[in-house]
Structure 1
Amino acid sequence: MSGSSEVKPEVNRVERRTDPIRVQIVDDHALFRRGLEMVLSAEDDIEVVGEAGDGQEAVERAGDLLPDVVLMDIRMPRRGGIEACRGIKSAVPSARIVMLTISDEEEDLFEAIKAGATGYLLKDVSIDEVPDAVRAVHGGQSLINPSMAAKLINEFATMAKKEEERPHQVPAPRLTEREMEVLRLVARGMNNRDIAKELFISENTVKNHVRNILEKLQLHSRMEAVVYAVRERLLEIT
């Protein structure tokens, strides 16, 4: 992780809360974990409740630690980050998981989202941005590097083509026209603030629409909703 990067995800500042955000750090490099722990522990509203050196240990400890946010690498021994993501989401469904990795592979990005990750950041992001990333994800945002967002959309388009001939099994939940507009903008990698500007509505209204979309689709994250919508042909990405 360097002090600056050419491409940085835009992170909206999230209003701080009384109880500290509980963070679990998972990475097989002790020095990297220590660097993150030092930066996050300096924040009054964030508490590092535990660390793990591999995915297996992370899953085993998550049930006791009950983290709000997990920062996790993908490439780790014993159990990789994507498999561990599934395990943690099973043990602590409310946990928000951010993949913090050097991997810019499309397959890793897509599999991480399918596993339940709500963020995917490359390790060249400025370390000073990590606390705000934790707050943003905990506040309900999905974070992804802009360069990776483009790859994600390409993956959605490929998936949509593969699914063109798949027969429908169950009618998909009906979204309103406005909810579809919001979903399309989410698919473009836009955050709540940018969506609000685009549609001339408030950020709170955007949050309400996103919450309604997730409830209707019975999903847990914005990116899961986009995957579902493409699969069910509710959303076309060209």
Structure 2
Amino acid sequence: METIRLLLVDDQRLFRRGLRALLEAQEGFHVVSEAENGQEAIDKARAFRPDVILMDVHMPILGGAEATQVIKQEMPNAKVIALTVSDEDDDLFSTIKAGADGYLLKDLGPDELEACIRKVMGGETPLSPGISAKLLREFRDRSFAEKKRTSEADLTSREIEILQLIAEGHSNSDIAAKLYIVEGTVKNHVHNILEKLHLQNRVQAAAYAIRGGLASVNGSEADESGSTARA
């Protein structure tokens, strides 16, 4: 099993130390460093190049969303998971928009956290229960006027079909089975969809589909009890 290198970012030292002890007791995890604010997180990410960053949202000097945006721009392969007590809409929206690969509340259990870290390394988007539908509604209702969006007309019919299935919560393997194509082809289509629509992840793609009327919010909410938007 390949070791996953972690950076822990939280302004509460006691929480960081407890989290470090918890994670390093698990096979395959190694905490390379800790940071107590967003600016320090950026510096540590540059220095240690972690695989996964567990990022608090509200911190002094620089917040989690701002730090995430810088880190994802400079190190797009680094996975950033927000680990926070906040389920406020503004925090959800700004953090995912900044490029976070997951959003978890601190009330989750140790086994759940371990599973979510492994899932994000596999390309999935871990979300705490109830966050998915809330996040999709937020993206649906907010305007992305500050970013140029490519219209659905620029997507192929196959890409639109796959975008609809993403919004319904299907994984790449599910989509491949439904459309009778190989999973690698689905991954290529997903990559093209994100590129054309200037989106960063599947959560944003699903929200785009709902906001554009390509899929229903009710269909997405059917998975509200689940904790992962599959990749």
TM tier relative to shorter chain:
0.7 to 0.9
1:60-209 to structure 2, matched below 5 A, reads: 60-159=43-142, 174-188=154-168, 190=169, 192=171, 195=174, 199=178, 204=183, 207=187, 209=189
Q: Which residue of 2 aligns with 1:3?
A: none
Q: Which residue of 1 aligns with 2:19?
A: 36
AA at the equivalent of 1:50? S
Over the aligned positions, Cα root-mean-square deviation in angstroms equals: 3.2
Indicate how the Cα distance of structure 1 residues 37 and 64 shifts in structure 2: closer, same or farther if over 3 A, else same.
Answer: same
AA at the equivalent of 1:120? Y
Indicate how the Cα distance of structure 1 residues 142 and 154 shifts in structure 2: closer, same or farther if over 3 A, else same.
Answer: same
Q: Which residue of 2 aligns with 1:55?
A: 38
Q: Secondary structure at the residue paired with 1:146?
A: coil
Cα offset, 1:111, TM superposition: 0.8
Query: Does 1:222 pair with 2:202?
Result: yes
Cα offset, 1:219, TM superposition: 4.1
AA at the equivalent of 2:123? G
Gaps in structure 2 of 5+ consecutive residues: 218-231
AA at the equivalent of 1:25? L
Deviations 1:159-186 (A, max 9, x none): 36x87xx9x8865574344543443344
Gaps in structure 1 of 5+ consecutive residues: 1-17
Indicate how the Cα distance of structure 1 residues 59 and 50 shifts in structure 2: closer, same or farther if over 3 A, else same.
Answer: same
Question: How high is the TM-score relative to the length of structure 1?
Answer: 0.75
Higher relative contact order (CA 8 A, sep 6+): 1
Cα offset, 1:155, TM superposition: 1.3
